[in-house]
Structure 1
């Protein structure tokens, strides 16, 4: 298969070449595949399976797999039958030296990600193909897992017709020969170029450039080369480094000029040509520039837009419906078993109790003084295991809307639209919502905590605008309502939509300076209460007063995007997570 010279491989051809690299060097860990379920994604999985070792095991890994099924544990039936501990192998042991397909990787919890990462770091590691179906760029596979999968492949733009148009690919025999040739491939100048490219893209880990070097050597082995060339270096940068970029590389004009005593600078001043070189291989600096330019061109469009807007590439595992975890819950999701006595609502975990007692069977039987044979397993009090559950606290999103005259003249309609979208998202997550409006001389609780979306929209639509900005009174009213909800076990998130320009004091008198001082004092008290908060600046050009209030409150500061209420709704959801 040709490597990317001119023009570079794109789409399905590039994805198929990535599958060949995984087969040549399983030490790449595998791939993070972004694609919806469908024939294109299945075709990629079939390509990988057709290229790896024929005898290698191939298993599916459910995102909700239990630790026992993943890591192995005691075979209870065999243990009870024999009277001695009999262990069975988990799924990770079954795919050792093979491949595992993690479906719905975006739903994998941190525990599963940590165990898969441990398996990838260990000897005889399997190949993991993590399937990411998330459409939100801020959600996706856990970072601990994604960082250990060298190749990040996006198949969302590959059409079904592209599969036949790409031509023939690498076969299993070619991949096997390349695997045998891989130890003899030299890296050349690729290590330096890939490391400098990773630094320019803001990648703060040494693992990506090392994996990029492995990908470059695997690509060279596929070509039958003894040393990595610039084509394989560029390919590795596109597949490994570009999707991990956290910043855009600086332009050449941003760099400091060369010092006066630089011979290259003197030649430019005298308009002399650089000395000719007999070797057509590009210099290390030139190779770095080529690699960096190729990586920049390969940055996904959505990621490029985020980086140009100054938004870092960091996936925050937002989970909208999850409040704070309650301890000692008697209901909810199972959270394992622990030693204890049943009673008072605590339920005995029979299987876990038998597993705890089984290893002691032979030793306890030796202590029996009767002649008749006893049971294979003797259960004692210290073997009792009690079921534990993880229950999430109910979430309350409290919207505090500025309806003063300054906002009514500008963006009150936009603020109402953003709140309506956030209310709809809260309704989908079955969260409670509350609404406080402030204008004139004080703040009013228009809607106490409720799940009724209809009531919330009705109160919001009837919200008038005009008057002063009693921000201190609004913060105190929000703190009181949040305190009461927290005492009832709810996790509270406060969303303030305001420009922060307070001009009415608590007692209803005017005075901008005194009103701002009271608002800052109230914000610091709310900060001490520990509630999560977000300040949405609804002014047209951004208000410094809103930034000051956000700092005093230790809240996240964002500006209301012009005409894009959906973006604000996503920000509020992340703040509530």
Structure 2
């Protein structure tokens, strides 16, 4: 009975197969990321643990774990009791030979993820072995993901969100084979598929290679075959695809026939044809593994960049009172800073025997004091600068109104505000000051004026003014411009088109120089170079959306904010 799943196995089957592959080669494959699925994820972890040698440890690592608990450090109680430094084992070292589970991995800080990644790379902590298979649970919403340091070092990414609970048969420990050979054509198929799918990470094809070797070993073979490569490509490369592969080049009918060499080249041509057939089969398997919505995103060139953190979230800032814990540092608790009692005691403990003449059971000096650190996200402000001029003003304003309402519906969760600037006639007007109130927005947007000239420079300048004011209040601004890019009213109110275009470009360049995030939505029926040129000057993402409705605009804006 083979352990290799059929090419069209479900997500749960893929997860269970990935668990057995990880059990066979935990160091080489690193582990997996499981998104959604609820209790099914625990079943996959149980299957992974059962496939490891008997007695394999399992440890859970919370997202806000400190360095001492993660990597080991001073054992405070034992040090105070014995009067000399004594170390404690960290959770990663305690999980050596087993599984480390990361619940809510999307909330893990980059620094903690980097330390876990370093242990995965080295396989040890201060000389002590720490060879673990990591399973990260991704409980975030659509726009959240674990830190990139983890994503890059875990071979498998599987979404169990659409899987239904079902009984899972208990697994058996996997036996490690002596060696598995990889033919050259299999190596070329893996590398060629990674290239065709636009995967630029060197780890991905290495993960695929090791997964193919593990699949062959689980099937009782010592040579990698086509089925093993298909499994590896489906589980490792397909989730990492960033583009649709180019169609195969068509053979030219007028190509001259090959020279007659007496049949000596027949074997070479047959070998080349066999390799091409293998590449086609493997690539077809990778494409079949992509979900439909991913295929649509790839075809539209709008793949998400899951780099950790919420899409559209504000800048990260250090805080003295609240937020995500960042650990402690040496310092005096003044000016609102909070004392970290445990870290202070940990710093003082090794010196107690030398401070025996002091008063009190624990003798603390100024140099021992440590303060707590936190990180918060700044509130965001999305500023819509909408072209309300011309005959299509009503449609553009209706689209903007719908997008504003969709963004405001998420305002409470994402700590976001929205503002709206409309430019028409001879000037720009702030129709909706920064707000997170959906009721206020609907009341202000009930009737919007339209028609007249296009003072694009004035609209961009007004949006930049709102953005800079938001920065002074600690918010992170993002400007969304909706226009066809054809300015015809200059900054001084004149109607000279050339001057109006120069002023608009200067205003766009000012936004770019201020390093304000922006997206330029070109609403013209046929995108023209003016819009792309203004987007380039702003440093903005250019989005030609001639027939975008509110939902499409909302998706485009949130995707642009994630870049």
- Of 427, 449, 452, 2:437 maps to 452
| Alignment of structure 1 residues 386-425 onto 2, 5 Å | 386-408=371-393, 410-425=395-410
Deviation at 1:200, TM superposition (A): 2.1
Residue aligning to 1:127: 133
Q: Taking structure 1 as reference, are residues 99 and 561 closer, same or farther at Cα in structure 2, changes over 3 Å only?
A: farther
Tell me the CA shift for residue 562 of structure 1.
3.7
| SS of residue paired to 2:244 | coil
After TM superposition, the score normalised by the length of structure 2 is 0.88
* Alignment check: 8 A CA contact 2:148 2:307 kept: no
Cα displacement string for residues 12-35 of structure 1 (whole angstroms, at most 9, x for unaligned residues)? 444333222222222321122233
Matches within 5 A, 1:478-497: 478-497=463-482
Distance 1:332 1:428, change over 3 A: closer
Q: Is 1:383 matched up with 2:368?
A: yes
Cα deviation per residue 1:254-307 (whole Å; 9 max; x = unaligned)?
Answer: 6899986856xx69xx9x999589x99994444333322222222233322222
- Residue 312 of structure 1 and its aligned partner are, at CA, apart by 4.0
- 2:336 aligned to 329, 345, 350, which one? 345
Written as runs of structure 1 = structure 2, the 5 A alignment for 1:207-222 is 207-222=203-218
* Aligned partners of 1:243 and 1:300 also within 8 Å: no
Match of 2:522 in 1: 537
In the other structure, the counterpart of 1:559 is 544
Shift of 1:443: 0.9
- The offset of 1:471, in angstroms, is 1.0
Match of 1:184 in 2: 179
Contact 1:441-1:469 within 8 A present in 2 as well: yes
* Contiguous gaps of at least 5 residues in structure 2: 124-129
Return closer, same or farther for 1:536/1:78 CA change in 2, 3 Å cut-off.
same
Cα distance in 2 for residues equivalent to 1:528 and 1:13: 51
Give distance in 2, aligned partners of 1:12 and 1:339: 47
| Contact 1:185–1:225 (8 Å) recurs in 2 | yes
Moved more, 65-74 or 512-521: 65-74
- For these two proteins, the number of residue pairs brought into alignment is 553
1:341–1:34 CA distance, 2 compared to 1 (3 A)? closer
Give the corresponding residue for 2:235: 239
Structure-2 change in CA distance of 1:468 and 1:100 (3 Å): same
State how far apart, in whole Å, the 2-side matches of 1:274 and 1:7 are: 35
Structure 1 segments unaligned to the other structure (5+ residues)? none
For the Cα contact (< 8 Å) 1:361–1:376, is it kept in 2?
Answer: no
The CA distance in 2 between the partners of 1:240 and 1:394, in whole Å, is 36
Is the 2:57–2:95 contact (alpha carbons within 8 Å) kept by the matching residues of 1? yes
RMSD between superposed Cα atoms in Å: 3.3
Q: Distance in 2 between matches of 1:6 and 1:357?
A: 59
Q: Structure 1, residues 216-254: CA drift from partner, whole Å, max 9, x if none? A: 121111222121122212221211112112222222226
Q: Deviations over 1:146-197 (max 9, x none)?
A: 2222223333343335x57xxx78x425x23xx1x2x322122322321222
| Partner of residue 98, structure 2 | 98
- d(CA) in 2 for partners of 1:276, 1:481: 70
Please name the residue that 1:514 is paired with: 499
1:55-74 pair list within 5 angstroms: 55-74=55-74
Which moves more between the two structures, 77-86 or 138-147? 138-147
Residues 397 and 576 in structure 1, CA contact (< 8 A), matched pair in contact too: no
| Cα 1:6/1:312, change in 2 over 3 Å | closer
Query: Partner of 1:211: helix, strand, or coil?
Result: helix
Q: Secondary structure at the match of 2:118?
A: helix
**Match in the other structure for 1:33:** 34
Distance 1:254 1:307, change over 3 A: farther
What does the per-residue CA deviation read over 1:346-389, in whole Å, with 9 as the maximum and x for residues that have no partner? 34333222222222233444xx5xxxx96664322222223334
2:512, 2:537 within 8 Å by CA — same for their partners in 1?
yes
The alpha carbon displacement at 1:543 in A equals 3.9
Paired residues of 1:113 and 1:145 also in contact (CA < 8 A): yes
Q: Is the 8 A contact 1:337 1:385 kept in 2?
A: yes
Aligned equivalents of 2:90, 2:446: Cα separation in 1: 57
Flag the 1:416–1:97 CA change in 2: closer, same or farther, 3 A.
same
- CA displacement at 1:78 relative to structure 2: 2.2
Counterpart-to-counterpart distance in 2, 1:96 and 1:7: 33
Which residue of 1 is the match for residue 126 of structure 2?
none
CA distance in 2, matches of 1:258, 1:117: 55
**Aligned equivalents of 1:391 and 1:206: distance in 2?**
33
Inter-CA distance 488–290: structure 2 relative to 1 (3 Å threshold): closer
Q: CA deviation at 1:469?
A: 1.1
Contact 2:417/2:435 (<8 A) preserved? yes
Structure-2 residue corresponding to 1:433: 418
Give 1:155's aligned residue: 160
* Matched-pair contact (CA < 8 Å) for 1:439–1:465: yes
Q: Give a deviation string over 1:60-99, Cα, whole Å, max 9, x none.
A: 2223333333223322222222222222222112111110
Given the alignment of the two structures, is residue 200 of structure 1 paired with residue 200 of structure 2, yes or no?
A: no
Q: C-alpha distance in 2, partners of 1:325/1:18? A: 35
